[in-house]
Structure 1
Amino acid sequence: MDRQDTPIRTFGRTGGRPLSARQQRLIDERLPQVAIPVEGNPLSAFGDRPDRFWLEVGFGGGEHVAAQAKANPDVGYIACEVFVEGVAKCLTAVEEDGLTNVRFWTEDARQLIEHFPDACLERVFILFPDPWPKKKHHKRRLIQPDFLDELARVMKPDAELRFATDVRSYADEALAKFLAHGRFVWLAEKADDWRTPPEDHVRTRYESKNLGDIAPVFYDFRIAGPE
């Protein structure tokens, strides 16, 4: 791939503190068993796969992944994260809860989504993605028109997407891009619909740190069928 064709990186560092012995074992031994293959249909990773699939892009420490997968055992849950410590934490929770419906992707989520068949996802979560707060870095933000095109392609009609952020500039920019796209119907009818966490939201350790410049906002969208 030519450098000019390489997608702009939308995430920061992928490594952090050294892993514990248990975490390293999970990365070395367990992750290959639940990883999505690089080639082919990603849904094949589920074997006798379920009829419903959800995607979470950038799961951080994995608290939301584990809780949603546990509450929805009939859903094939596709979890994407490049930060190795976060992957190890999520694997730990998955193993402790005995979850069998989670599969992992540890590279750029955009590369994975390209391989999804059309209209295969029922829900998508993008919770607190890297905000790239400096204006010169805004082009690195995940929510861009071409990314939304791919999401619209792989989501079923009436599928739901939840986007959350605690950075004002990203909240404003992302909402504008979702609404300009045309396929994402914002479900909010009043301010509390986006100011108040949804009933099924799972608060994460990142969210609890209050690192942003606003209280978290939650934008829920429904995907409209193609015209």
Structure 2
Amino acid sequence: MIRTTFALAAAAIAVPAAAADVQVTSQGPLVELSVTETVKAKPDLAEVSAGVTTQAPTAVAAMQANAKAMDAVIQRIKVLGIAAEDIQTTGINLGAQYDYDQATQRQVFRGYQASNRVSVTLRKIDRTGSVLDALVAAGATDIGGPSFSIDDDTASRAQARKAAFDKAQVQASEYARWAGYSGVRLLSISEAVNPGRPMPYAEGRVAMAADMKQTPVEPGLVGTAVTISVTFEMTR
């Protein structure tokens, strides 16, 4: 977690040499709050994954068969107009496979299994269903996703930040009033920064349709959350 801390000049601040957090002193009682607000918005990115699994008597044969099948899937992805930077290999695996013989109660070697998986970012989310169908048609034996997000969440994050601060200020003022004080003065504020993409608020839904229809996909909404920690001083 990254913490960015701002302190008003009017506050008296002491920072010990080995301290990790800023320590704030004040004349009146303090109100310390942690508030999280989430802003929902329509996503504009979808991430799906596709993989190929092959089996063969030898490790070399399994890997060669997998490479041929996976190349067909990747070429299909590129034909769909997806940029190279939006295609990323996420895993290549090879392992021996065994069956359990009940009669002898022993593991019996049956060959090798190879798998390869790629992640694909779609910048036109209305194509998600057709892309999934195309990947399966190209030879993908397993698919995953979609996971929806917002490419630039700056505006949503700013809205969530303001909503969190407004809520914290209202709550602090209420505490002050209940304690017999007339108001509050902001001493410090810090924000927990999440460098990742916005979290899914409502998972997109994928349903494999019958009769060769295009796979329907509902992107729903994604939420951008901001958490702030604030310290207010109660004032007369």
Which TM-score band (shorter chain)? under 0.3
**In terms of Rg, which structure is larger?**
2
Q: What TM-score do the two structures reach when normalised by structure 2?
A: 0.23
Higher RCO (C-alpha 8 Å, min separation 6): 2
TM-score by length of structure 1 reads 0.23
Higher strand content, 1 or 2: 2
Question: Which has the larger helix fraction?
Answer: 1
